[in-house]
A and B are shown apart, each in its own frame.
Chain A
Amino acid sequence: MIAFVTSNMAPLMFTALIVVLLLGYPVAFSLAAVGIAFGLLGIQLGLLQQSLFQALPERIWGVMSNDTLLAVPFFTFMGLILERSGMAEDLLDTIGQLFGPMRGGLAFAVIFVGALLAATTGVVAASVISMGLISLPIMLRYGYDRRFATGVIAASGTLAQIIPPSLVLIIMADQLGRSVGDMYAGAFIPGLALAGLYAVYAVGVTMLRPQWAPALPLEARTFREPNGGSGTPSLIVLFVIAVAAAVGFAKYRYPPDAPIDEVLVVATSVGVAVAFSAAVLNHLLKLGMLSRIAERVTFVLIPPLALIFLVLGTIFLGVATPTEGGAMGATGALAMAIGRRRLSFGLLRQAMDATAKLTAFVVFILVGARVFSLTFYGVDGHLWVEHLLTNLPGGQLGFLIAVNLLIFFLAFFLDFFELAFIVVPLIGPVADKLGIDLIWFGVLLGVNMQTSFMHPPFGFALFYLRSVAPTKDYTDKATGRPIAKVTTGQIYWGAVPFVLIQVLMVALIIAFPGIVTGGLAKKATIDTNKIQIEVPAEESTTTPGTGEKTDSEQEDAQKAFDRASGKPEPGK
């Protein structure tokens, strides 16, 4: 018996973890308790040193001084303030009006706004609730297919998980020991491609099943010109001028070998500034050069674009670290909420309260995982996992397929924080050993984990949509017609095609790795993690996946960070 336990500590420990987690006691404490119990057992059996637990305070210290995780409260706080600022409502109303006259237009508007909100800061629940309360009633009013309407809303809301800046990518970067900036750069194209695939699906629906996604009738269009025109040509002209300004600026102002992301950020800002000044001049001087819709669209797009610049722009320009980018975004969101007179004392308190609780439970899961891994690595659990995974048939591809299937099915039961803190540190080092690029791997898993929000019956996006979709038949106020309730079955079935699209995206990333790595062009980003990698001593001492840093490494990173930011080194 003792011999069996001694030789099978790792599998036994892992099995015990699964059983204990399923008891439904908070994950953070269960993880730590399994670690401590097996640690004591290991010490008794002579497998582990007496001093094993002396390392615990340093492990917690490592979590505390983790600069990357600091971004978690920042982005959470930003999202909570932003979702109450009314920005999402304005966007959905205006873009709905813009695209509405097209067949399937409301669906395109939902996808577009979903992607835009995702790029300001990702909160799935908030996007789904806003769309469910604003766009869904209009879609139902004008006869959209219920499954298609609910599916497109839930799926567009989950874009927040993969389009930077998102908590998923931050935590993935932390767990895989890579820089957040690179993770963002790598996730950008896959995130947008996923939104593109949703749109392609919507186009397919409008062609094959036009009755599922009708155009808005004339009486539903509120932004009309005095002469009855839609005003869209004016918007297209403005858009073309803005793009021309951006491209022209990039061509003449920058040499061809300038860092691509810097050019992109600056040129886009120039284009937006041109469009914005045109709209402001037109409005103030009553020039009448722009149609109402063109002016309105420009005005509602400015706040999200400004926030995207504040967060992602400053990161890609190298002005701020990803963590500071989160703080800049949070400050911007506060300023915007104050400007729109939406910030009350109650809202501020409530946002800080929710942020503090989320931070506590997320970081405690990590603390628990660190306690667990202290013992698990001590009994060579990582070698056991590596042995299991590298012996799969098919080498790299076999590993990728197995891991993705595993995550896909675990996602029915676990949410993303648990997957990221328990599963990712186990498979990350194996992936690294198989020669897989960890940025690419992280983005791949991020796309895969999106499905956990869309799985019936536990998917969070579906849950939040259910909470705001009509549960009773009602009479529509605008048309006076009766509208049937949305059934839970419709929401579940509506999610299925979009889960399939997400799975397709996973397959595409595996088949064409360039989707991710193409975004990783050379650039000058200030990022403590990345700078650390440039410190030669780092490579031999840091194991990817554990994210462990010793004090001296942190010091190195700090010095490098100071150098990069133009600060003189102390003592020189």
Chain B
Amino acid sequence: MKILLTLSRLIDALNEVVGRLTYWLVLVAVLVSAGNATIRYTFNMSSNAWLEIQWYLFSAVFLFCAGYTLLHNQHIRIDVVTGRLSRRAQAWIDILGTLLFLMPMALTILWLSWPVFVDAYQRHEVSTNAGGLIIWPARLMVPIGFLLLVLQGISELIKRIAFLRGMIPDPTEKHEEPSAEELLAAEIRRQRGESA
């Protein structure tokens, strides 16, 4: 179990690094897209490659951050029914969910998307738009994203089992950075000089 917990920590660290690097692409995508509109209007020219880069960046953000989002427990749940159950019961739900829901779907897509990438790579597939980008890097993003998700699933599984065995504190209660809403409230309060 000790080895598994080390593995879990390694996976967490990996997805943390990937997530923190990938979120910069949000800013890049904003600037590219705003630039595209401005240049098209002012110089009356546009480039398919630059238009396609927008959604390459978008795809990278949601695919590479899927594991990172799972690590931070931010994938939406409907917890009106099970939200009141004990921590242990919720850990059991997460274990079963990971094994029965997350793993089968992520492995299926990982399995199916790899040959699509290999095919695109071997045929040097290029976008059908004039001046478009080569396709394989985008095709490669899918298996990478789902691999990161599978890895994070393994890590979450290890952490839940360790929690049920009393080896680690509740992993869902780990220290999270304050949310955007909490930061906003804190800032307004500071400026108003009120503690209410």
Contacts and interface: CB of A to CB of B under 8 A. Distances in A.
Contacts of B174: none
Interface stretch (A53-61, A109-117, A184-192, A252-260): A53-61
A354 B41 CA distance: 31
B129 A364 contact: no
B26 A77 contact: yes
B26 A22 contact: no
Interface in A137-192: 137
A356 interface: yes
Interface centre among B63, B80, B184 (most CB of A within 10 A): B184
Given A129-B185, A327-B37, A351-B180, A24 B81 contact: yes
Interface centre among A37, A328, A364 (most CB of B within 10 A): A364
Interface centre among B20, B129, B139 (most CB of A within 10 A): B129
A439 to B, nearest CB: 24
Interface in A62-105: 64-67, 69-70, 73-74, 77, 80, 83-84, 86, 89
Contact of A70 (B58, B177, B185): B58
Interface residues of B, number: 85
Contacts of B157: none
A566 interface: yes
Given A331-B31, A360-B68, A314 B37 contact: yes
**Chain A facing B: main interface SS:** helix
Contact of B188 (A30, A89, A354, A477): A89
Contacts, number: 254
Contacts of B65: 356-357, 359-360
Interface stretch (A282-290, A317-325, A499-507): A317-325
Interface stretch (A209-217, A464-472, A540-548): A464-472
B181 A352 contact: no
A416 B86 CA distance: 27
Contact of B61 (A21, A29, A360): A360
A360 B55 contact: no
Nearest to A72: B58
Given A57-B142, A361-B69, A468-B185, A137 B194 contact: yes
A474 B196 contact: yes
A23 B170 CA distance: 19
Interface centre among A54, A73, A89, A330 (most CB of B within 10 A): A73
Contact of A83 (B40, B179, B184): B184
A567 interface: yes
A54 B116 CA distance: 10
Contacts of A325: 37
A57 B109 contact: yes
A320 B37 contact: yes
A84 B191 CA distance: 12
Interface string B106-134: 10110011001000000000001111000
B105 A29 contact: yes
Interface string B36-66: 1110110011101001001100110111011
Contacts of A413: 78, 80
A28 interface: yes
A84 B80 CA distance: 31
Contact of A32 (B70, B74, B101, B188): B101
A27 B76 contact: yes
A324 B61 contact: no
Contacts of A458: 80
Given A22-B82, A56-B112, 9 more contacts: A29-B102, A64-B55, A323-B54, A327-B29, A353-B23, A354-B179, A356-B19, A357-B69, A359-B65
Closest 4 pairs (CB-CB, A-B) = A25-B97, A327-B33, A570-B130, A26-B75
26 contacts: A24-B83, A25-B96, A26-B75, A36-B104, A36-B105, A60-B109, A60-B142, A64-B59, A64-B142, A66-B55, A125-B181, A133-B188, A134-B188, A323-B54, A326-B33, A327-B33, A327-B34, A355-B23, A357-B65, A359-B62, A359-B65, A360-B74, A361-B74, A364-B75, A464-B181, A558-B51
